[in-house]
Chain A
Amino acid sequence: MDVELRGITKRFGSVVANDGVNLTIRGGEVLGLLGENGAGKSTMMNILSGLYSPDEGEILIDGKPVVFQGPGDGIEAGIGMVHQHFMLVPVFTVAENVVLGVEPTGRLGYLDLKRARAQVDEINQLYGLHVPADTLIEDLPVGIQQRVEILKVLFRQADVLILDEPTAVLTPQEVEEFFGIVRSLKEAGKAIVFITHKLHEILEVSDRVSVMRQGRIVGEGDPKTLTEADLAEMMVGRPVSFTVDKTVAEPGRPMLEVSDLVVLRDNDEIAVDHLNMVVKSGEVVGIAGVQGNGQSALVEAITGLARAASGKIVFDGKDITHFSVRQRHSEGMAHIPEDRHKSGMVSSFTIAENMVLNSYYEKPYSKGMAIDWPTVHKTAAKYCVDFDVRTPSVFLPAGNLSGGNQQKMVVARELERQTKLVIASQPTRGLDVGSIEYIHSRLIEARDEGDGVLIVSSELDEIMGLSDRILVMFDGRIVAEFDNTGGKADRNAIGLAMAGATEGAAA
């Protein structure tokens, strides 16, 4: 089945998300769709799946124009979307999730789960998905959950599969398996749209690539003849450097020592399991690992947001295990949280207010019980200049800023003080290449000034690029350690360790 998008334009208020986009999708082919966050990829795919209707332009399926009224119409026409955030009911089994909405039924609406199971197994066999039909979704690893999403789409007889950032949650090995599935789908004649911002993945798996920037298709080509640099330049609109410029680290005294740390989740399960680690001054330590292996709990325990069930946290020689967040902060700990909306900023506060969220009670921002607003505004304006936060005014609500500028605001607030230790969790998630480069250079700068820097990220590229030493976290523990001086750590071995292989190769 071939699908053609012609002159698709979609506006949200004054923002043009898609601007006259033309795109062809062919059966038996993988189309790589590349673009930064906010380039308009998701909008276009939502139009294709029927969730949005375009303001201008038309969709043709096998040459015939179609009009979609709602999300059901896309799937009816054979276009299935695998969302970046899984649409699965955690307490249902695989089979229940797959058949939901198109259930095989007997008399009186009786739900024929036996038939559902058989149907699921049939698709399993056909494409080599190996998904257990009777397991609850919540008991499955993320990689398998993703296959359930693919199963769901195949069960509805989709001929076009849109995969939105499918590799974001996978380990390198899972990505390989995933590509295997993509190839077998292709061989079965399905058309696949593979959306990502990871260049090497596009080159590896797609037959054709289209690059989007600011709502337009800015380049198309054959991945066999294109290089990563070409693609990056198309995507960003200027040449991009992939490596973080940095000198060899000169580690000094231990800045953070974590010993035998145990942190529990809300449901009393063990999130961090007798973990030991050290971060020295003047070095960047990266924690690699698939999301959900206790990284968040570790960061929360170090920064004081979560209680340590047992173990010890020592910060520059001082036992801070039972310190409050504010005490840790005044000792010189900076925290760039993983989710800025949840714990990094207050969207409805102004940029100036956000800039002093961590220090409003100190001099010079407070005089007695009153906040000295002129000083706050002056300082915030200076921070904005220093950290390249692009805004017409510090009096605007922080929520009005783009994601990249919001994150730079948070980074500015955390780093524009005397710090000794920087904890950065997913510091560049969802940001554009320019902001990523900037934040990376700032983190290296903090290192060069003698701070200890701890980076937690699920993007292995980011860990590899920034860290001097790499720790791999799996199931609440550090399972492997790699020296990354000069970026020489073995990517494959890290990947294996992330997947929990315990024999992990030496570095």
Chain B
Amino acid sequence: MSAVTTDTTSEKIATGKARQARIVGGVLIALALLVLFVLDVGAGQVATFKLSRPRDAIVLGDLVVPGQPFNLVAAALLAFLGVRQFLRGGVRWTSISLGVGLAILVMAFLVWATADKSFSLTGMLQATMVRAVPIALGGLAGVLCERVAVVNIAIEGMLLAGAFTGALIGSLLGGWGGLVAAVLVGGSFGLILAALVVTFRMDQIIAGVVINLFVLGLTSYVSSQVFAEVRSLNNAPVFRAWKIPLLGDIPVIGPMLFNQNLFVYGALILVAVATYYLFHTKGGLRARAVGEHPRAADTLGVDVYWTRYVHVTLGGMVAGFGGAWFTLGSVGRFDENMTGGRGFIGLAAMIFGRWHPVGALSAALIFGFADSLQQKLALLNTPIPSEFLAMAPYIATIIVVAGLIGKARAPAADGKPYVKE
């Protein structure tokens, strides 16, 4: 007989990954050219970034960046990272290089846009956090549902229901009453979704779409017919920012993290609690088992249906809380479809964040950053229409979700109804 030896594992490096590494390399080199030729800053121009406001406790000086040298260095770094992808070791560095490369691009872009102007970095970071809140909470709601294998496309509707309830009940009973009501209403929509998909095994996408359409229709009707007539029903108090002593005075990150309203603190705490719960408690282990292999969980005495009901309802409550941000956390008034797709972006953040609460929050911050960047840039008068900038995070999501940076892996049983034997 002929005995053929099997080769070492190094040969197992799949050709697909090498191809992916080369694609990323190409992208990085293209970005380098973009920075070099398009984001070209005139000689001698400087970009001024303000790190604090005049009335802050600790006032830092402005950060003044010489535009041309900075962007030349940025282009060189991008080119280096890109070329490196084509050489050995590219496979291992693919995701990191792309992440670093995109960060460099954003910096170069900011310098270019701010050339000979000044820009408040602190203000933008604060706005980033605020705008990330509903997306992060939507993403967290998604994590709670999908970890037990229920696809919750109804997050958008739950946010909207929370916003509406917050405004209505908030106007009648005050902010706290509105908040509790919003959470309860979000939870009931979670319960309805759970009943539809767990007990009646309805298609999860359709059930979610139905809830979205129902909430959109109902809230739009009431807001145009009732709120337009009786304005006092749509005039809720707003939770103001509450500065945490000392921590709130830290330059740059202080205003972002420690001088915010209830919703920002709530989102941060919920993310921490959810992370601890999912990965360090008995309940979390069981929930994840239900999402990965429900039959295995069932044979070990974990009640699959009950677990799904509980988590989808909890997810709904989180979304309801996130919805209240739109009214009680910002303007105090409900407008038709005021969530504007934030629930769906939350789902994207969940996937981007690989079904992890902290990941979802990080992704939400990126979306929030793009959102606030777009606003501030409108003030800076750049040649690029700000709407285009607003598209950037979604393009990033498409790339990520389509699998350029490795395959984000959903819970194995995600979207599948469970039928007991």
Q: Which residues of A contact B (CB under 8 A)?
A: 51, 71-72, 75, 81, 83, 87-92, 96-97, 99-103, 105, 108-111, 152, 264, 267-270, 273, 309, 474-475, 477-483, 500, 502-504, 506-507
Judging by beta carbons under 8 Å apart, are A268 and B281 in contact?
Answer: no
Judging by beta carbons under 8 Å apart, are B12 and A267 in contact?
Answer: no
Judging by beta carbons under 8 Å apart, are A479 and B3 in contact?
Answer: yes
With A72-B301, A96-B285, A268-B17 as given contacts, are A111 and B280 in contact (CB-CB < 8 Å)?
Answer: yes
Judging by beta carbons under 8 Å apart, are A264 and B298 in contact?
Answer: no
What is the 8 Å Cβ interface bit string for chain B, positions 402-413, against chain A (1 contact, 0 not)? 000001010010
With A264-B16, A270-B12, A309-B15 as given contacts, are A105 and B2 in contact (CB-CB < 8 Å)?
Answer: no
- Cβ 8 A contact of B6, one of A152, A500, A506: A500
Contacts of A482 in B (CB 8 A): 1
- Cβ 8 A contact of A89, one of B3, B6, B7, B289: B289
Nearest CB in chain A to that of B7: its residue: A273
B43 touches A (CB below 8 Å): no
What is the 8 Å Cβ interface bit string for chain B, positions 226-239, against chain A (1 contact, 0 not)? 00000000000000
B391 touches A (CB below 8 Å): no
Q: Which residues of B contact A (CB under 8 A)?
A: 1-7, 11-12, 14-17, 280-286, 288-289, 292-293, 295-302, 407, 409, 412, 421
Contacts of B14 in A (CB 8 A): 264, 267-270
- Cβ 8 A contact of A480, one of B3, B289, B300, B412: B3
With A479-B3, A479-B6, A503-B3 as given contacts, are A101 and B286 in contact (CB-CB < 8 Å)?
Answer: yes
Judging by beta carbons under 8 Å apart, are B289 and A92 in contact?
Answer: yes
Report how far A270 CA is from B15 CA in the complex, Å: 8
Nearest CB in chain A to that of B6: its residue: A475
Report how far A73 CA is from B286 CA in the complex, Å: 19
Judging by beta carbons under 8 Å apart, are B282 and A90 in contact?
Answer: no
Contacts of B17 in A (CB 8 A): 268
Contacts of B295 in A (CB 8 A): 87
Chain B proximity of A438: nearest CB distance (Å): 32
Report how far A480 CA is from B5 CA in the complex, Å: 9
Chain B proximity of A281: nearest CB distance (Å): 22
Report how far A89 CA is from B1 CA in the complex, Å: 40
Report how far A475 CA is from B280 CA in the complex, Å: 36
Contacts of B3 in A (CB 8 A): 479-480, 502-504
Report how far A139 CA is from B242 CA in the complex, Å: 49
Nearest CB in chain B to that of A71: its residue: B299
Report how far A51 CA is from B421 CA in the complex, Å: 8
Report how far A477 CA is from B7 CA in the complex, Å: 10
Chain B proximity of A468: nearest CB distance (Å): 14
- Cβ 8 A contact of B292, one of A90, A108, A269: A90
- Cβ 8 A contact of A101, one of B6, B288, B301: B301
Judging by beta carbons under 8 Å apart, are B6 and A110 in contact?
Answer: no
Residue among A83, A87, A474 facing the most chain B CB atoms (10 A cut-off): A87
Nearest CB in chain A to that of B5: its residue: A502
With A264-B16, A267-B407 as given contacts, are A109 and B281 in contact (CB-CB < 8 Å)?
Answer: yes
Contacts of B286 in A (CB 8 A): 100-101
Chain B proximity of A55: nearest CB distance (Å): 17
Nearest CB in chain A to that of B300: its residue: A101
Report how far A208 CA is from B265 CA in the complex, Å: 67
Judging by beta carbons under 8 Å apart, are A87 and B296 in contact?
Answer: yes
Nearest CB in chain B to that of A104: its residue: B282
Judging by beta carbons under 8 Å apart, are A105 and B282 in contact?
Answer: yes
Chain B proximity of A485: nearest CB distance (Å): 13
Contacts of B407 in A (CB 8 A): 267
With A269-B12, A478-B4 as given contacts, are A100 and B421 in contact (CB-CB < 8 Å)?
Answer: no
With A90-B292, A111-B285 as given contacts, are A100 and B4 in contact (CB-CB < 8 Å)?
Answer: no
Judging by beta carbons under 8 Å apart, are B298 and A110 in contact?
Answer: no
- Cβ 8 A contact of A100, one of B11, B12, B16, B300: B300
Contacts of B293 in A (CB 8 A): 87-90
Contacts of A102 in B (CB 8 A): 300
Contacts of B288 in A (CB 8 A): 89, 92
Contacts of A105 in B (CB 8 A): 281-282
Interface contacts beyond A102-B300, A110-B280, A110-B281: sample of 13 additional A-B pairs, CB < 8 Å, sorted by A: A90-B412, A100-B286, A152-B300, A264-B16, A270-B11, A270-B14, A273-B6, A273-B11, A480-B3, A482-B1, A483-B1, A500-B6, A506-B1
Report how far A273 CA is from B286 CA in the complex, Å: 39
Judging by beta carbons under 8 Å apart, are A480 and B15 in contact?
Answer: no
Judging by beta carbons under 8 Å apart, are B2 and A111 in contact?
Answer: no
Judging by beta carbons under 8 Å apart, are A101 and B302 in contact?
Answer: yes
Report how far A96 CA is from B284 CA in the complex, Å: 11
Report how far A214 CA is from B262 CA in the complex, Å: 68
Judging by beta carbons under 8 Å apart, are A109 and B283 in contact?
Answer: yes
Judging by beta carbons under 8 Å apart, are B302 and A100 in contact?
Answer: yes
Judging by beta carbons under 8 Å apart, are B297 and A100 in contact?
Answer: yes
Judging by beta carbons under 8 Å apart, are B2 and A481 in contact?
Answer: yes
Report how far A103 CA is from B289 CA in the complex, Å: 13
Report how far A90 CA is from B412 CA in the complex, Å: 9
Report how far A71 CA is from B296 CA in the complex, Å: 12
With A264-B14, A269-B14 as given contacts, are A507 and B298 in contact (CB-CB < 8 Å)?
Answer: no
With A477-B4, A502-B3 as given contacts, are A71 and B301 in contact (CB-CB < 8 Å)?
Answer: yes
Report how far A18 CA is from B208 CA in the complex, Å: 44
Contacts of A92 in B (CB 8 A): 285, 288-289, 292
Report how far A252 CA is from B109 CA in the complex, Å: 70
Report how far A92 CA is from B1 CA in the complex, Å: 41
A–B Cβ pairs within 8 angstroms, 22 of them: A71-B301, A81-B299, A87-B295, A87-B300, A89-B288, A90-B412, A91-B292, A91-B412, A97-B296, A100-B297, A101-B301, A110-B280, A110-B281, A111-B285, A268-B14, A268-B17, A273-B7, A477-B6, A479-B3, A481-B2, A483-B1, A502-B5
Residue among B2, B281, B285, B298 facing the most chain A CB atoms (10 A cut-off): B285
Contacts of A97 in B (CB 8 A): 296
Chain A proximity of B265: nearest CB distance (Å): 21
Report how far A101 CA is from B299 CA in the complex, Å: 9
Residue among B5, B283, B296, B412 facing the most chain A CB atoms (10 A cut-off): B296
Nearest CB in chain B to that of A91: its residue: B292
Report how far A223 CA is from B5 CA in the complex, Å: 41
Report how far A182 CA is from B375 CA in the complex, Å: 69
Nearest CB in chain B to that of A96: its residue: B285
Nearest CB in chain B to that of A75: its residue: B301
The 8 closest A-B pairs by CB, nearest first: A268-B16, A101-B300, A87-B296, A268-B14, A109-B281, A103-B282, A72-B301, A89-B293
Contacts of A81 in B (CB 8 A): 299
Contacts of A103 in B (CB 8 A): 282, 285
Chain B proximity of A208: nearest CB distance (Å): 27
Contacts of A479 in B (CB 8 A): 3-6
Nearest CB in chain A to that of B406: its residue: A267
Nearest CB in chain A to that of B3: its residue: A504
Nearest CB in chain A to that of B407: its residue: A267
Report how far A270 CA is from B17 CA in the complex, Å: 11
Report how far A503 CA is from B1 CA in the complex, Å: 11
Report how far A96 CA is from B278 CA in the complex, Å: 13
With A71-B299, A477-B6, A480-B1 as given contacts, are A111 and B289 in contact (CB-CB < 8 Å)?
Answer: no
Nearest CB in chain B to that of A152: its residue: B300
Chain B proximity of A154: nearest CB distance (Å): 14
- Cβ 8 A contact of A481, one of B1, B15, B280: B1
Report how far A483 CA is from B2 CA in the complex, Å: 11
Chain B proximity of A82: nearest CB distance (Å): 11
Judging by beta carbons under 8 Å apart, are B301 and A89 in contact?
Answer: no
Report how far A257 CA is from B94 CA in the complex, Å: 38
Report how far A506 CA is from B2 CA in the complex, Å: 8
Contacts of B282 in A (CB 8 A): 103, 105, 109-111
Chain A proximity of B22: nearest CB distance (Å): 14
Contacts of B284 in A (CB 8 A): 111
Judging by beta carbons under 8 Å apart, are B6 and A88 in contact?
Answer: no
Report how far A99 CA is from B286 CA in the complex, Å: 10
Judging by beta carbons under 8 Å apart, are A264 and B2 in contact?
Answer: no
Report how far A474 CA is from B15 CA in the complex, Å: 20
Report how far A399 CA is from B305 CA in the complex, Å: 30
Nearest CB in chain B to that of A268: its residue: B16
Report how far A83 CA is from B296 CA in the complex, Å: 10
